[in-house]
Amino acid sequence: SPRSCQPDGASKEALRCEIEELKQKNLALDKEIAELVAEGYSLEELEQHISLLHEYNDIKDAGQMLLGKLAVIRGVTTKQLYPEYDLELSD
């Protein structure tokens, strides 16, 4: 796992540290992708899954925003609305 550093703005050392952390993250992601490909997944399939996850998160965020607005209008918490819409707190 990449070491954590606290950049102090735009100093050269801070930029070097950030670059090194990004390189480490890139290597870790490349390794994870290689493992998934070795398990039989294709890059296209992985990209499709990522795209679908982004879409899901966008829809979920919109739903949460609507629940929040409805809760404000009704003067309740969003948690109190979950049973009304058959939602689990883990949703």
- Per-residue pLDDT of 56-81, as tens digits, reads 999 999 999 999 999 999 999 999 99
One domain for residues 33 and 46: no
Provide the domain limits for residue 67: 42-90
pLDDT at 90: 79
Q: For residues 31 and 34, give the distance between their C-alpha atoms in angstroms, rounded to a whole number.
A: 5
Q: Which residue has the tokens 């670059």?
A: 19
pTM, two decimals, is: 0.57
Give a yes or no: residue 1 inside a domain: no
Give a yes or no: residue 16 inside a domain: yes
Give a yes or no: residue 51 inside a domain: yes
Contact 25, 2 (CB under 8 A): yes
pLDDT at 2: 46
Give a yes or no: residue 26 inside a domain: yes
Give a yes or no: residue 62 inside a domain: yes
- pLDDT-derived band at 1 (thresholds 50, 70, 90) equals very low
List, for residues 4-30, the tens digit of each pLDDT value: 565 555 688 889 999 999 999 999 999
